[in-house]
Amino acid sequence: MKMYSEQESDLVLQKNDEKVNIAILCEYDGTDYLGWQSQKNNKTIQEKIQNAIFAITNEKVTLYGSSRTDAGVHAKGHVSNFISGCKIPVNKIPLALNSNLPDSISVKKAVIVPLDFNSRFQAKGKTYSYSIYNSPIRPAIDRFRKHHIPQILDASLMREASDKICGEHDFSSFMASNSEVKSTVRNIYSIEIIDKRPDITIYVRGNGFLYNMVRIIAGTLCYAGLGKIEPGQIDDIIKSGDRRLSGKTLPANGLCLEEVYYDSDIFNIAR
């Protein structure tokens, strides 16, 4: 997949009368939205950004999203793309869109990508975080971004359990019941648990995720951390394919899409 530098992107936009494919990197606070994907007459992030694109280009585009985050889920690195005849230099697009977006959504970068690029189908992997506030007392300032668990979590048991989840497995038992999907096999590359009490943050990196999968993984790790299941049971839970054996689906507020990976570093983010 050929990528353009920011300067080349500008040239593409200025020289070419044809349409171009623009990828954008977004941060959003999902608290007040019904999720990413447009729904009739409902407040979604896709809708808000499409409206902002219309405001600056006069084009009614479809914005293709890498992840259809649920209501209340946040993103620090959501990627999406749209086809446009827009003549605005690509490096001006973030500020132009941001001045037409609510404060809870911010476009951080925009780049020109090949016409056949699709932010969802070409994604090679994603990192999600799940944030827990582990204290007998509930949080106030971070109430929309951390899930409160009052009982003490044992982080070493959580890590033991997370080691068993990593790898390529059929994750049927970590998928919301009644989801329809071609394959339930996914590869979890790594799970990292950062323990800075009262904050415990779980970072899950994988090639893809089933519906509610990160929230169920987080719930299962918390069951391990509370002693409700033993880390050794994880193998059997995976083998069973039985959703009833894994932990509960933790609420949306703790979940955040951190990053989406492609063959090349399309936004030039140093890692």
Residue type, 66: S
Strand partners, 81: 23, 64
Q: How many helices (H) and strands (E) does the chain have?
A: 6, 10
Task: Decide if residue 266 touches a second copy (CB under 8 A).
Answer: no
Stretch binding a second copy (CB under 8 A), from 101-109, 159-167, 177-185, 224-232: 101-109
Element (H, E) at 93: helix 93-98
Binding status of residue 187 toward a second copy by CB under 8 A: no
Three-state DSSP at 97 gives helix
Task: Tell me, yes or no, if 70 is annotated catalytic.
Answer: yes
Reduced to 3 states (helix: H, G, I; strand: E, B; else coil), residue 158 is helix
Is 169 a binding residue for a second copy by CB under 8 A? The answer is no
* Nearest residue (CB) to a second copy, 27 versus 195: 27
Total residues interacting with a second copy, rule: CB under 8 A: 22
CB 129 → a second copy: shortest distance, Å?
A: 12
Residue 76 interacting with a second copy (CB under 8 A): yes
Q: Does 171 bind a second copy (CB under 8 A)?
A: no
For 147, the 3-state DSSP assignment is strand
In this chain, which of 4, 21, 29, 171 binds a second copy, going by CB under 8 A? 29
Q: Quick check: 195 and 155 in contact, CB under 8 A? A: yes
- Length of the chain counted residue by residue: 271
Chain residues that interact with a second copy, rule: CB under 8 A: 27-29, 74, 76, 94-95, 98, 103-108, 136-141, 143, 145
Catalytically active residues are 70
